[in-house]
Structure 1
Amino acid sequence: MNSSAGPAAEDPQQDVHQGIHRAVIEWYARAARDLPWRAPERTPWQVLVSEIMLQQTPVVRVLPVWRRWMQQWPEPQDLAEASPADVVRAWDRLGYPRRALRLHAAAQSVRDEHGGRVPSRHSELLALPGIGAYTAAAVAVFAFRQRHAVVDTNIRRVEARLFTGRALPSRSLTAAETRLAEELLPRDVPESVAWNQAVMELGALVCTARSPRCSECPVREDCAWVAAGSPPAEDVPREQAWHGTDRQVRGALMAVLRAAEEPVPRRLLLADASSAEQLATEHGAPPQVVVDGLTALWRLPAPAEQRERALAGLLADGLAAESDGGLSLPV
């Protein structure tokens, strides 16, 4: 029996993906926020700093700190030569200040091992201190225009709703989510970069976790979650507590150390409101900015063991240093 191979059958699913790619990328061209680390003249260093600052921190809080950092440390070697104390102090109130020390270590590695230039190879980015899989992929894509799947919380949420019909992704990144992100990535390199940017922005502005604005979504008609009637999430993550936690106490301790130019006696940091006034008198009158920080710390309803634990954690993480005179930022 004679047979001849006809033209390869078109993949309907691929056509759907291409239509979604176009719609989301076109939406991004109209709706994207004007952020300095997206500007045509942005440098790989500016992208790297923004990516680390944006981890678990909203853009509105990052912008002023990022701008100050870029004025103070416009190149990796500038940050590499700064003291850890200056770096932690400049991190201000972005939260999770260990990120500042990791960025400082990454800058030193860039200076010492890469001639002061952020490396473009994904494997070299991943080898920098404190740089994980997400950040390495994001810098490779957004700074160097390479083809990698970037998988952050926003992208995971959009793809979960759009393609699996789930209201929210799993609490932790799964292998299935990573495979889906890679399968959805356009083969064309410039289009893959645009897709990563656009789908991330869609999750940040429209397909949000709490109140998605589905009426504004450019791919609403293709969304499996909308087609299923927008069912509620099976496992709603609880909002992370702050008041009364070790994180709150650590933050109050860090506020005092950032404001202080001299070591702060341990007794002052561990005092409670009942003994604070007497201790402050014994140790002289610190600058008002330090007094304000101590007052806020003393007012916390934190037991002695929690204050001790929070302070020990800062020392263990390298965010504080102790000397005979007391505690200060790392030197």
Structure 2
Amino acid sequence: MGEASCAAKGDVVHQEITRWFGQQARDLPWRRGCSAWGILVSEIMLQQTPVVRVQPVWEEWMERWPTPADFAAAPAADVLRAWGRLGYPRRALRLHAAAARILEEHDGAVPDTYPELLALPGVGTYTAAAVAAFAFGRRTTVVDTNIRRVHARLVIGQALPAPALTAAETALATDLLPEDADESVLWNAAVMELGAVICTARSPKCDLCPVLDKCAWIAAGQPEPTYIPKGQPWAGTDRQVRGAVMAVLRAASSPVHADLFWDSVAAQVHAETAPALRKLHDLNTHAPQLERALAGLLSDGLAQLSETGYHLPH
């Protein structure tokens, strides 16, 4: 699609999608006059994690640590326990490091420009753009999986975007972005929401789409994807074992002796961690996999090993 026609298409769909968003947007707490810190926390938590799992943890988190300074002062073990089962717990430690950087270099206030946000630990291009837009009203090109999918169908006529973000996709998102900063923020949020709740990957609700009659994918007869998306496996993987070990460490108030990870009989008498240890042993993991999980957690700074056993970092 040429630059002029792309812009024209944007002019046509902007009003309809943003009007739909104004009427149908989910009532999420980070959309209600939230602080920049709260928006940063939400964006980190929402990476590869659905809203329904994030919202209760986010609400507890913000009540406990309402500012970067509050969070930076928290022990790492408390941070990892509060993260719970959101998955990918390294995100929690990176956010902890980001809070410390905000305190040291920005007087405790989340920076308001894309380059400064991008320089924070654990903040990538998407997160920096999203926080700049949604926390500070900056005109930035926000491109997440949902936005990419809407653009692929609505403008290009493909069932799914490319497996990895391309320069052409970023250019298209920039072309579609309104020039006015406030309108650009609204547009980013609206397209993201459309992809999350209507233009979904597996079962799009096309009959509820506000721009169904302008969708290039519909006009092309809804062609099948050119590839089959590979979901991330869970059962039997090292990730599952790592998660089970982390659950044991979160449940423990003192170091967990190494034998308890291997001996299912001895584990039952360790009342504090018995339920979590039982779930770990029920996985029937083989020894090399458990060894890899423990070594990986140590390497990633998610666990520590002392003379008395494994524990969360101090």
- TM-score relative to the length of structure 1: 0.92
The equivalent position to 1:29 in structure 2, one of 22, 25, 28, is: 22
Question: Are 1:46 and 2:38 counterparts?
Answer: yes
Aligned to 1:195: 187
Q: Is the 8 A contact 1:244 1:301 kept in 2?
A: no
Q: How does 1:117-196 map to 2 (within 5 A)?
A: 117-196=109-188
Aligned to 2:301: 318
Q: Distance in 2 between matches of 1:12 and 1:244?
A: 49
Deviation at 1:222? Answer: 1.1
Quick one: which amino acid aligns to residue 156 of structure 2? T
The equivalent position to 1:286 in structure 2, one of 245, 255, 270, is: 270
Aligned to 1:106: 98
Question: Are 1:244 and 2:275 counterparts?
Answer: no
Q: Is the 8 A contact 2:6 2:175 kept in 1?
A: no
Kindly tell me the number of residue pairs found equivalent between the two proteins. 311
Q: How does 1:242-281 map to 2 (within 5 A)?
A: 242-269=234-261, 271=262, 275-277=263-265, 279-280=266-267
Where structure 1 has 5 or more consecutive residues not aligned to the other structure, the ranges are 1-10
Compared CA separation, residues 174 and 14, structure 1 to 2 (3 A): closer
Q: Distance in 1 between matches of 2:248 and 2:284?
A: 17
Aligned to 1:218: 210
Q: Distance in 2 between matches of 1:319 and 1:157?
A: 34
Aligned to 2:65: 73
Q: Deviations over 1:261-312 (max 9, x none)?
A: 000011212x1xxx421x347xxx3234x10011111111211000000111
Quick one: which amino acid aligns to residue 38 of structure 1? R
RMSD of equivalent CA atoms:
1.1
Q: Distance in 1 between matches of 2:5 and 2:164?
A: 31
Q: Deviations over 1:28-68 (max 9, x none)?
A: 000000111001x2100000000000000000000000001
Quick one: which amino acid aligns to residue 194 of structure 1? L
Q: Is the 8 A contact 2:6 2:176 kept in 1?
A: no
Q: Distance in 2 between matches of 1:306 and 1:286?
A: 23
Compared CA separation, residues 280 and 199, structure 1 to 2 (3 A): closer
Q: Deviations over 1:168-218 (max 9, x none)?
A: 111111111111111111111111111000000000010000000111111
Q: Deviations over 1:101-156 (max 9, x none)?
A: 00000000011110000010111101111110000000000000010010000000
Q: Distance in 2 between matches of 1:68 and 1:17?
A: 39
Quick one: which amino acid aligns to residue 170 of structure 1? A
Quick one: which amino acid aligns to residue 42 of structure 2? S
Q: Is the 8 A contact 1:65 1:91 kept in 2?
A: yes
**After TM superposition, what 4+ stretches of structure 1 lie above 2 angstroms from structure 2?**
11-16, 285-288
Aligned to 1:299: 282
Aligned to 2:79: 87
The equivalent position to 2:88 in structure 1, one of 96, 99, 104, is: 96
SS in 2 for 1:327: strand
Deviation at 1:13? Answer: 4.7
Report the structure number with the largest CA radius of gyration: 1
